[in-house]
Amino acid sequence: MSDGNSFPKNFFWGAATSSHQIEGGNENDWTRWEKRNAEKLAEKAKERISKRASFEKIKSHAEDPENYISGKAANHKNRFKEDIEIASNLGINSYRFSIEWSRIEPEKGEISQEGIEFYHKLLDKLEEEGIKPFITLHHFTSPKWFVDRGGWESKTASKHFQNYIETVVEEFGDRVEYWITVNEPHVYALNSFLLGRWPPEKRNPYSYFKCLKNMEKFHQEAYEKLKSVEETKKVGISSHNTYFYAEKGFLNHKVASFLREHWNHRFIKRNIKSIDFIGLNYYKRRKINKGLFANEFHEKSDMGWELYPEGLYHVLKELDRYDKPIIITEHGLADSEDEKREKYLKKSLKSCQKAMKEGVNLQGYLHWSLLDNFEWDSGFWPRFGLIEVDYDTYERKVRESAETYSEIIKNNELPE
């Protein structure tokens, strides 16, 4: 438990990323979708984004089709050593990244040694810098061949992901202690299978639940394989939890409670027996007013998302019911000018301390994100990084807020 402004000894201080958003040179279901949709996304930018962000500031990027093609991403594949060195200089002791399935198994049954080598080298570098790896197995992207065989909504999905899980566990199982099987299953299933916003653009409740079911199977399979390497492996998921806040009124409370149980807890509850720690991703509060989302906001990020650091306390407290260790595996904001990050970070960490003082077993905080990256259907304009990336030269620059984060890490406490 924490005392005053300090954090517990051995607290995991880190940052997180995902393969598709930073590596570059991928060939997966998203790259195919991006090429088909870039023009459309650029054309629709005004309609899609103008309400969400300070549109004038990002207009030139948001209306350019190139913004929506991941391409070289942050060129991390070629610059990972530099990125890890910067992280290490900041004092980061933990780093969450994802393995790109399409890099490991580009065609069905064909394992790429080059793909495997890349992640071994990344792990070597982390080891050299004394940084603890947290590996995610699925972070929104899948190989094209998997999707062409029915993908996440198909009855045969588990037949197709076994090889990937086995290969990864065999190659890296003994090198890594902390594993996240799936990232935000509800966010993925909602956007890809219910709202039709992301590939494969389905709008079907049946597909939504089928995808979730298959992700549970994926989780179970990976859990068992990892535990067979060593019982002490720590296996969890990353859950995107929202603070659903109900205004007065019976209906508001009913709606908030339904959303909370479905969105924040369904996947965790159904799999709790095979979850060693809960990875929490927190970005938003949703105010429920007259049974609907209210449009009343505090300060906003560049994405137009309300910045509500106190919400982190509430979602942490909600997770206390499982009696499992919690690690924040994502939390951050898009802030291209780096004007709001420092304050938001400090206030959010204050919320963590408040929860810890009340007994919540929080063991770490991994900021989203280590560096600027490709933000899915919004492309490159949102800037989530502690490290700024110049997309013309790929040069890196540490943001001022990252220096503040570094101070907090080095002192293991929040300033007064």
Q: Which residues have a catalytic role annotated?
A: 184, 330
SS3 breakdown of the chain: % helix, strand, coil, rounded to 5? 50, 15, 35
Nearer of residues 83 and 330 to ligand BGC, judged by Cβ: 330
Contact 32, 199 (CB under 8 A): yes
Q: Which of residues 140-159 bind ligand BGC (CB under 6 A)?
A: none
Position 100 contacts ligand BGC (CB under 6 A): no
Stretch that binds ligand BGC, among 73-81, 183-191, 268-276, 310-318 (CB under 6 A): 183-191
By CB under 6 A, the count of residues binding ligand BGC is 10
Stretch that binds ligand BGC, among 162-170, 180-188, 342-350, 352-360 (CB under 6 A): 180-188
Position 281 contacts ligand BGC (CB under 6 A): yes
Using CB under 6 A as the criterion, what x/- string covers residues 362-381 for binding ligand BGC? Answer: ------x------x------
Contact 278, 268 (CB under 8 A): yes
Contact 180, 96 (CB under 8 A): yes
Q: Which of residues 4-33 bind ligand BGC (CB under 6 A)?
A: 18, 21
Nearer of residues 7 and 380 to ligand BGC, judged by Cβ: 380
Contact 352, 362 (CB under 8 A): yes
Looking only at the bridges linking them, the beta strands covering 12-16 and 292-293 are unpaired
Distance CA 20, CA 103 (A): 10
CA nearest to 193, candidates 181, 205, 183, 178 = 205
Rounded to a whole number of angstroms, the minimum distance from the CB of residue 187 to ligand BGC is: 5
Q: Is 351 exposed, middle or buried (0-12, 13-18, 19+ CB in 10 A)?
A: buried
Question: Cα 144 from chain centroid?
Answer: 21
Tokens of 343: 């304050």
Position 94 contacts ligand BGC (CB under 6 A): no
Rounded to a whole number of angstroms, the minimum distance from the CB of residue 177 to ligand BGC is: 21
Q: In 236-260, which positions are buried (b, 16+ CB within 10 angstroms) versus exposed (e)? A: bbbbbbbbbbbeeeeebeebbeebb
Nearer of residues 97 and 368 to ligand BGC, judged by Cβ: 368
Q: Which of residues 313-332 bind ligand BGC (CB under 6 A)?
A: 330
Stretch that binds ligand BGC, among 74-82, 182-190, 201-209, 219-227 (CB under 6 A): 182-190
Residues forming the site for ligand BGC (CB under 6 A): 18, 21, 183-184, 187, 240, 281, 330, 368, 375
